[in-house]
Amino acid sequence: MAKDCHRCGSPLASPETFCPNCGAPQLLYDANGEAAEGTANPGAPVLRSIQWKQAIGAAITFAVPVGLLCSSVVPVLASGCCLWVLAGSVAGVGLYQRRSATQVLPRPAGMRIGTILGIMAAVVATASNAGAMVFARYVLHGGDAMEKAFQSSMEQGSVMASQLISVSPDQARQAMQFWLSPDGRVGATLLTALISSIGITVFSTIGGALGARIFSGRNPSPENP
């Protein structure tokens, strides 16, 4: 029994599993009334499980540039970190879809690829920031400028915190002394790196889901990794 495509309305010759006009996947119903997604056309298989070799390769391809763009190596470009992460994860999912020749790409698969890419990008960004700090302090001898910048940022943060939370002057002074101590500096640096890494991973996961929505249903051109 012929039916029409649910997306574009083109007539389908049963039992086609993909619309020849727009490439949208179709649902087939068995005699028990249970919906079952059909198998894909030759050369464009339906994704049942992630092909991890292609997924990790695609993630690495975009994780390195995304991590560098999100680091302090190029401060001007780092301001667009969220945009780079989203674009990189979408592109990573698209590269995986082309390499694996997969036509139907479920959203959970895209989210997993995006999460892997985000974790890798966060590692690259953290390592790049650490290298930039070491270079600026010991090669460029910019330790004094870094100390002043850190103290200024802590003072601004203390003022903002005191406006949100009522604390006594003694408590505010003790907190400032802690953050300016060696232990406080290490804690602030690690906390900043952790928050940044979580943000990169979350945005990359969102980008992976968006990439799955964009590329699922398209006819991929097989590519050898």
Query: For each of the chain's 225 residues, which pLDDT tens digit applies?
Result: 457 776 677 777 665 566 666 666 666 544 444 444 444 444 444 444 688 889 999 999 999 999 999 998 888 888 889 999 999 999 999 999 888 877 778 888 899 999 999 999 999 999 999 998 888 888 888 888 888 888 888 777 777 777 777 767 777 778 778 878 888 888 888 998 999 999 999 999 999 999 998 887 666 555 544
pLDDT value for 78: 85
Burial of 38 (0-12, 13-18, 19+ CB in 10 A): middle
Q: Where are the beta strands (DSSP E) in 123-177?
A: none
The answer to whether residue 166 is domain-embedded is yes
pLDDT value for 30: 45
Q: Tell whether 32 and 130 lie within a shared domain.
A: no
Q: Tell whether 34 and 134 lie within a shared domain.
A: no
The answer to whether residue 223 is domain-embedded is no
pLDDT value for 205: 96
The answer to whether residue 224 is domain-embedded is no
Question: Domain limits at 17?
Answer: 1-38
The answer to whether residue 135 is domain-embedded is yes
Q: Tell whether 151 and 188 lie within a shared domain.
A: yes
pLDDT value for 225: 43
Tens digit of pLDDT for each residue in 48-71? 468 888 999 999 999 999 999 999
203: CB partners within 8 A, 6+ apart: 82, 85, 86, 89, 118
- CB neighbour burial string for 150-188, b if at least 16 within 10 angstroms, e if fewer: beeebeeebeeeeeeeeeeeeeeeebbeebeeeebeeeb
- Structure tokens that stand for 191 in this block: 């906390």
- DSSP letter (8 states) at residue 36: E
Four-residue CA torsion sign, 200, 202, 206, 211: positive
Q: Tell whether 29 and 58 lie within a shared domain.
A: no
Q: Tell whether 70 and 147 lie within a shared domain.
A: yes
The answer to whether residue 47 is domain-embedded is no
Q: Tell whether 11 and 111 lie within a shared domain.
A: no
Q: What percentage of the chain exceeds 90 in pLDDT?
A: 33
Q: Tell whether 34 and 99 lie within a shared domain.
A: no
Q: Tell whether 81 and 176 lie within a shared domain.
A: yes
Q: Tell whether 86 and 63 lie within a shared domain.
A: yes
- Structure tokens that stand for 142 in this block: 């910019």
The answer to whether residue 84 is domain-embedded is yes
- CA separation, residue 70 to residues 83, 136, 154, 189, 196 (Å): 10, 18, 22, 16, 9
The tally of domains found in the chain comes to 2
pLDDT value for 168: 74
Q: Tell whether 27 and 70 lie within a shared domain.
A: no
The answer to whether residue 43 is domain-embedded is no
Tens digit of pLDDT for each residue in 188-213? 889 989 999 999 999 999 999 999 98
Its pTM surpasses 0.85: no
Parallel, antiparallel or unpaired: strands 11-12 and 35-37:
unpaired
The answer to whether residue 154 is domain-embedded is yes
Q: Tell whether 151 and 87 lie within a shared domain.
A: yes
Q: What are phi and psi of 35, to 5 degrees?
A: -75, 135
- Structure tokens that stand for 134 in this block: 């070491």
